Amino acid sequence: MASATRYRSRYIAGQLLAWWPAILLGLMVLMAILAPLIAPLDPNRQDLLGRLKLPGYEGRGGTYWLGTDELGRDVLSRMIYGSRVSITVAVLSVLLSGIVGVTVGMLAGYLRGWPETILMRLVDIFLSIPAILLAIITVAVLGPSFFNVILVLALTRWPRYARVAYGQTMSIARRPFVTLARSMGCSVPRALLLHILPNIISPILVVATLEFGLMVLFEAGLSFLGLGVQPPTASWGAMLSTGRNYVTSAWWIATFPGLALFLLVLSANLIGDRVSDIIGKGR
């Protein structure tokens, strides 16, 4: 009986250890969704008399569990609301870049000929430009805003999806069922949606899970440089940018958002690795 209980405990612990990245990411997503309900204070409320206070400070309005920033705002509340920005930007930019990249890659791999040459040369041009440099230039031209950040990140990352979709589509397009569908007059959109896409979705999902963490980092980097979401909207990158000026006197301003950013990106990357392993074993 004792050995069975011990075995069950080890099994449960092993499952939790294996799935902790998904659990952590799920908790962060839930935190972002429920931010208005769980944030202890207004993230934008200023209290200059309570600026740069240590974690646990009790002041006007309640307890500041993670301290206050240079304007007396609650760091914990701003972190909770900042998660909404990071996760929303990452999800939408991954979806948009994935749709554009997969469409371009499938068209190039299925049509071949001059469409393939034009589309893949366009992919090569975008890949030859450093992504972060292209993002900075584009944001500087369009202006920093929430939607512009999403557009810029999608613009810089779609070629990766295109390369994967292109290679997978060329392989699938030679299969007998695709050749038969084409000979029976199947239109290009129908062939791509019904015959090509379902057979290449697995590697696309792997790319998307890995790109999610990268999008979070890009968004934080742009906000750190002042080219992302603009104040007073809370953003982890902007909090890091502010906190660097107070590292010696108020370490908590940059430490806690940096730790949250690290955990979010780490969990997303580990989930991507696990998805890749599962798909690889299933083949």
> What's the mean pLDDT in 180-194?
84
pLDDT value for 281? 63
233 Rama class: left (phi>0) / alpha (psi -120 to 50) / beta:
beta
**Which CATH superfamily does the domain covering 22-43+62-282 fall into?**
MetI-like (1.10.3720.10)
Cis peptide before 232 (omega within 30 of 0): yes
Cα separation of 70 and 47, whole Å?
A: 9
Over 80: is that where the pLDDT of 8 sits? no
> What is the per-residue pLDDT across 73-102, written as a single tens digit (0 to 9) for each?
999 999 999 999 999 999 999 999 999 999
DSSP string covering the chain, please? Answer: -HHHHHHHHHHHHHHHHHHHHHHHHHHHHHHHHTHHHH-SS-TT---GGGTTPPTTEEETTEEETT-B-TTS-BHHHHHHHHHHHHHHHHHHHHHHHHHHHHHHHHHHHHH-HHHHHHHHHHHHHHHHS-HHHHHHHHHHHH-S-HHHHHHHHHHHHHHHHHHHHHHHHHHHHTSHHHHHHHHTT--HHHHIIIIIHHHHHHHHHHHHHHHHHHHHHHHHHHHHTT-SSPTTS--HHHHHHHHGGGTTT-THHHHHHHHHHHHHHHHHHHHHHHHHHHHHHH-
> What is the per-residue pLDDT across 246-279, written as a single tens digit (0 to 9) for each?
988 889 999 999 999 999 999 998 888 888 777 7
| pTM assigned to the model | 0.87
Confidence band for 4, pLDDT divided at 50, 70 and 90: low
pLDDT value for 5? 55
